[in-house]
Amino acid sequence: MMTNNSKVLALKYRPQVFKDLIGQEVVAETIFNSIKSNKSANAYLFSGIRGIGKTTIARIVAKSLNCEKGIDNLCEDNFCNHCLSIINSNHVDVLEMDAASKTGVDDVRDLIEFSRYGPTSAKYKIFIIDEVHMLSKQAFNALLKTLEEPPKYLKFIFATTEIKKIPVTVVSRCQRFDLSRIKSDNLFQFIKKITEKENGKVTDEALKIIVKISEGSVRDALSLLDRGLLSNLDGEELDLKKAQKIYGYLDKSTLIDLFENLFNGNEDDVIKIYRKIYDSGVEPKNFLNDFLEILYYFKNISSIKLDGTNFSLNDYDFSRISKISSKIDSQDLILFWQFTIKSLDELEIVSNPNISVEMFLIRLMYLKDYKKDAKNELTNYSSHDQTKLKNTKIVDQIKNISQEEKPVPKIKSKDTTDELTIGNFEDLINLCNSKKEIKLKYELENNINLVTFAEGRIEIAFNENLDKEFIKDLSNRLYEWTKKRWIISLSKKEGAISKKQEEKLSKTKIIEDAKKSIVYKKVLETFSDAELIDVKMTEDQND
């Protein structure tokens, strides 16, 4: 038999009475009062995330209904026969069933048949069904009548992590309780007491990491604490650094360093920091999720209070983010957010997510051109420097930028002293042709739906056939040819049809007009199966 000391912490410190529950005080008080006043529900339904006490509360309710000492003196240590049997899941009148393994209507019918007989030794016969949403539709239907009018000695207690999958007809017959995630400060105090009881040496910073990773789940927090305590040998202390390594947790300060280098365009340092993060055991998907969290703080730091309850930022990190965010354009942060979400989806289809994340970070620098324009440290930028940085960005691939009519740019030809003019979209196509940029010419003619064309700015509609590198390649070529930065942006507007489509429509119209001519009709009189497939225009046929 397993001794209490050999149990995992999640089982060893499982609450046995209502007052031991953390974070669910309102639920506990409501159920306690209903049982004490002899007005307990026919069926209880507990919903919420994993590890917040659904099954634990179900057992406490079962004990409260059947305890030999009564609910006011509910067993805590010296358990009566009923409480002990319920704790060990072997009480003859308290049946625990996992709906994940018994989902069929036959299983429920057997249960209902069993319920027709009164309790053997206890006051109530109780059915605890875990993950009840796994039951089939037919099984739920079989339960309905019994749920609505059960015998006085019968109680149902349901637990689920997916309340939406349970039919409304079933939910309406239950007394429903939605269990909330445990607040960070409550969970921190709880696992700190457990650590002291276990004579463990764990710093507060390490405990806060456990709280954050557990996301409000008591069971997850205790499992992580168990793992951390087992890693301590010969009286070692589980400190912040060791906890980060054990749990593969990404330190916020490291991510802030990465962001600062990213905004400064330090590509080598960004990649070095990321590889250090990856080598510490942080998976690419977890990295991007943490990346999103830091983005959120950069965008909303002015409205966040450092109250110490979410354990996400310490004073130093809060101060650094506040200082850096004041020098960053909010629109850039929103653009980064969109790009990160897109990259998360890409991880599902690439064979090497780690390389994909590295390229994601590099693309961010080129996306806003931090790589080429950020020559000085971000902290040393003056307001004039920031304005200059914004005005010299090379590519804005996602944002819509208003177009302004400006004088036509002129460039010096390398081959002659004459000036070439990029006055319109047609001039751009001709320039690509003369520069032997065949790929760019092909994209411009076939896959570009032009919205507006002005000096230094080209706005195009989204086209799924467009080469992914087109915007970057064209922008680089234009800078090379004109020595000026061109902004090429994607627009939500429909845009004009491509040149090739325009030519095709034009040719179709010419053929349709020709078919209406007298000459074509005379041809058909002689050759009835003739078909007009092309029309060639001569210089004197312009009308």
Q: Please, which pLDDT band fits residue 402 given cuts at 50, 70 and 90?
A: very low
CATH of domain 184-247: 1.10.8.60
Please write the tens of the pLDDT for every residue from 462-500.
677 788 788 888 888 888 888 888 888 877 777 777 777
| Residue predicted with more confidence, 376 or 45 | 45
Whose CA is closest to 363, among 336, 387, 345? 336
Q: Please, which pLDDT band fits residue 273 given cuts at 50, 70 and 90?
A: very high
3-state secondary structure of 127: strand
Residue 335: pLDDT above 70?
yes
Q: Please, which pLDDT band fits residue 309 given cuts at 50, 70 and 90?
A: very low
pLDDT average, residue stretch 497-506: 72
Residue 308: pLDDT above 70?
no
pLDDT average, residue stretch 18-30: 91
Q: What is the mean pLDDT of the chain?
A: 80
Token pair 């497939």 is found at: 533
| CATH domain 4-178 topology | Rossmann fold (3.40.50)
Tell me what pLDDT residue 254 has: 85
Tell me what pLDDT residue 263 has: 87
Residue 506: pLDDT above 90?
no
Arch. (CATH architecture) of 252-391: Up-down Bundle (1.20)
Q: Please, which pLDDT band fits residue 394 given cuts at 50, 70 and 90?
A: very low
Tell me what pLDDT residue 282 has: 82
Whole-prediction pTM value? 0.58
Tell me what pLDDT residue 473 has: 85
Q: Which tokens is 114 given? A: 């069993």
3-state secondary structure string across 319-356: HHHHHHHCCCCHHHHHHHHHHHHHHHHHCCCCCCHHHH
Q: Please, which pLDDT band fits residue 371 given cuts at 50, 70 and 90?
A: low
C-alpha span between 327 and 219 (Å, rounded): 42
Residue 3: pLDDT above 60?
no
Q: Please, which pLDDT band fits residue 101 given cuts at 50, 70 and 90?
A: confident
Tell me what pLDDT residue 399 has: 40
DSSP one-letter string for 225-290: HHHHHHH--TT--B-HHHHHHHHTPPPHHHHHHHHHHHHTT-HHHHHHHHHHHHHTT--HHHHHHH
DSSP state at residue 202: B
Maximum average pLDDT range among 271-275, 321-325, 372-376, 395-399: 271-275
Cα distances (angstroms) measured from residue 161 to each of 131, 158, 478, 491 = 7, 11, 56, 42
Buried b (16+ CB within 10 A) or exposed e, 421-444: ebeebeebbebbeeeebeebbebb
pLDDT average, residue stretch 431-446: 86
pLDDT average, residue stretch 8-34: 91
Of all residues in the chain, the percent with pLDDT exceeding 90 is: 23
Tell me what pLDDT residue 301 has: 84
C-alpha span between 220 and 123 (Å, rounded): 34
Give me the residue spans of the domains in the chain. Answer: 4-178, 184-247, 252-391, 410-491, 498-543
Contacts (Cβ under 8 Å, ≥6 apart) of 275 = 358
Q: Please, which pLDDT band fits residue 290 given cuts at 50, 70 and 90?
A: confident
| Residue predicted with more confidence, 114 or 47 | 47
Tell me what pLDDT residue 83 has: 92
pLDDT average, residue stretch 1-28: 81
Tell me what pLDDT residue 434 has: 86
How much is the CA Rg of the chain, to the nearest whole Å? 35
Q: Please, which pLDDT band fits residue 530 given cuts at 50, 70 and 90?
A: low
Tell me what pLDDT residue 166 has: 93
- If phi > 0 it is left, if psi is from -120 to 50 it is alpha, else beta; for residue 159 that is beta
Q: Which of 3.30.300, 3.40.50, 1.10.3470, 1.10.10 would CATH assign to domain 410-491?
A: 3.30.300
| Residue predicted with more confidence, 486 or 157 | 157
